[in-house]
Structure 1
Amino acid sequence: MTPALVQARDKVRTDTGPELIKAVPVRHPGRWVGGVIVLLLATLLVQSLVTNANFRWDIVRTYILDVLVVQGIAWTLLLTVLSMVLAMVLAILLAFMRESDNPLFRYVSWVWVWFFRGTPVYTQLVFWGLLAVLYPKMALGVPFGPELFSFATQDLVTAAVAAVLGLGLNESAYLAEIFRAGLKSVDNGQMEAAEALGMRKSKIMWRIILPQAMRVIVPPTGNETIGMLKATSLVLAVPFTLDLTFVTNAIANRTYLPVPLLIVAAIWYLVITSLLMVGQHFIERHYGKGVDNLVPAPVKATQAVTAAHTTPDIGTEEGGQV
């Protein structure tokens, strides 16, 4: 090839740019087939729900905002909140006892977790419901001596109190293990560094260890809260007769229409669970600050670009020489 032809070729390549590769995207027919099948099944399900008269959607609309149903929702939420508060307080105490240097504290914590995790929650609720039968009167006084005061058990441990105790004590055993796992996820060097600065152990635990452990504690605790919401349907064993499940069952027994009332209860449980999941998301995001996998992708890209423009290159005048 003559020099003139070489120059002409180079000029053409410079003017037109590099030749682009004609890439063919990989086809995924299985995804389209799977998507069509899912849409078909979803359409059939919606059609079945809408056209099947046995669901009695008119009854669902009638009782979805019934006064008794709304009161049952309020009692269900109250039982859930009180039981979880009691469980969390006991779980934190049990987790600290499990990590204590005192062998008696460790043994008591282990026995507590062993007992309440090893027996069904329904059995525990029945026990709390029968507490007034086992102990008709409770007294405080000197052992084998005179009584200072006494009271009837049924006056203090009502059905609502028994339900909260049964659910809360059972849940505390599960949360204790979750909290203990969260505490163990924090490196021991955090504790040692804080002790070297002269901080008290209680302050180290509340200001340094727990905030970092919450990133591990929050997700399973949120799951346990949702489980607690549904476990309130078992308080009939106490017996407690004001929760959502009992109210909808009572209406169903009166109207002889169990299916629409079950749908009413299911809808409300789904609504409350969805709200709890939204709250859990924001709590996780709060305690997950600084964790890479919780940072949104646009923020990561912005941080990368900023770092690339602000970090001086090695060997330049700003970065110094190697």
Structure 2
Amino acid sequence: MEGLDFSVVPPYAGLLLQGVIWTTVLTVAASAVSFAGGIALALAVMYGPWFLRYPVRLFAWLFMGTPLLLQLFLIYFGLVQIGIDIPALVAGIIGLGLHFAVYNADIIRAGLAAVDPGQNEGARSLGLSRFQSFRHIIVPQAVHSVMPPIGNNLIALLKESALVSVIGVAELVHTAQLAISETYRPFEFYIVAAALYYVLNLILEAGLRRLERRVEATR
């Protein structure tokens, strides 16, 4: 039986580093989309007119009821058939961002519902518009209470970013597969990729804990 030989890994360190960089870019961009999209979807469902609420609910139901992999295929391979050609990286960001936005929306909606209605009434009595009340009073308070579950979703997003390798994005799994195709040493490179994901996960968790402490300090 042939044993492990990690000496094949160092020559491909640059390639793996490239994968780490693109995984980080993908995660950060998709996280921003998922967070902003989650707020927008939650506000639309809770406070939007009926002709906006129902399409948003249908959108959320479709994204929750179908696999992320299928959504990536539809965005990247499907849209091109109707003349919308999206680069693989952008398709990955959109797919991951929208997929997790619907889950963030549920969390944020619960946070918004937990804010005392008197907060909005007090803001309006001080002369703030409805938009200003949401922006400066309601949403910040809701965000404070939903940081931990949103953070869990961001960690899940980091791990699910590996799926975008199937549409050709040169993230960590994709670059590991390229190295494997040249060396025929899958176990070594998958172990290294797993270790790098673990390091990224630890960094993200540390960043989220620091952010939560800063948010708590401002309350």
* Aligned-residue RMSD, C-alpha: 2.0
2:207 is equivalent to residue 271 of structure 1: no
**Preserved CA contact (<8 Å) 1:182 1:213:** yes
2:19 is equivalent to residue 72 of structure 1: yes
In the aligned structure 1, how far is the partner of 2:218 from the partner of 2:24?
Answer: 33
In the aligned structure 2, how far is the partner of 1:85 from the partner of 1:283?
Answer: 15
- Shift in CA distance, 290/69, structure 1 to aligned 2, threshold 3 Å: closer
Question: Which structure shows the bigger proportion of residues in helix conformation?
Answer: 2
**Preserved CA contact (<8 Å) 2:63 2:102:** yes
2:2 is equivalent to residue 56 of structure 1: no
2:173 is equivalent to residue 245 of structure 1: yes
In the aligned structure 2, how far is the partner of 1:133 from the partner of 1:200?
Answer: 42
Instruction: Please state how far the C-alpha of 1:210 moved relative to its aligned partner.
Output: 2.0
Alignment partner, residue 121 of structure 2:
192
* 2:212 pairs with one of 272, 277, 284: 284
Structure 2 spans left out of the alignment, 5+ residues: none
Q: Deviations over 1:239-260 (max 9, x none)?
A: 2241100111221232121111
Instruction: Please state how far the C-alpha of 1:133 moved relative to its aligned partner.
Output: 4.5
**Preserved CA contact (<8 Å) 2:165 2:173:** no
Aligned pairs for 1:223-262 within 5 A? 223-237=152-166, 239-262=167-190
In the aligned structure 2, how far is the partner of 1:127 from the partner of 1:176?
Answer: 22
Aligned pairs for 1:106-121 within 5 A? 106-121=53-68
**Preserved CA contact (<8 Å) 2:64 2:102:** yes
- Shift in CA distance, 133/284, structure 1 to aligned 2, threshold 3 Å: closer
In the aligned structure 2, how far is the partner of 1:232 from the partner of 1:68?
Answer: 18
Instruction: Please state how far the C-alpha of 1:197 moved relative to its aligned partner.
Output: 2.2
2:152 is equivalent to residue 214 of structure 1: no
Alignment partner, residue 99 of structure 1:
46
- Shift in CA distance, 101/221, structure 1 to aligned 2, threshold 3 Å: closer
The residue matched to 1:130 in structure 2 has which SS? helix
**Preserved CA contact (<8 Å) 1:241 1:247:** no
Structure 1 spans left out of the alignment, 5+ residues: 1-52, 138-152, 292-322
**Preserved CA contact (<8 Å) 1:211 1:287:** no
2:131 is equivalent to residue 131 of structure 1: no
**Preserved CA contact (<8 Å) 1:163 1:240:** no
| Aligned-partner residue type, residue 261 of structure 1 | F
TM value normalised by structure 2: 0.91
In the aligned structure 1, how far is the partner of 2:62 from the partner of 2:99?
Answer: 9
The residue matched to 1:198 in structure 2 has which SS? coil
TM value normalised by structure 1: 0.63
Larger radius of gyration: 1
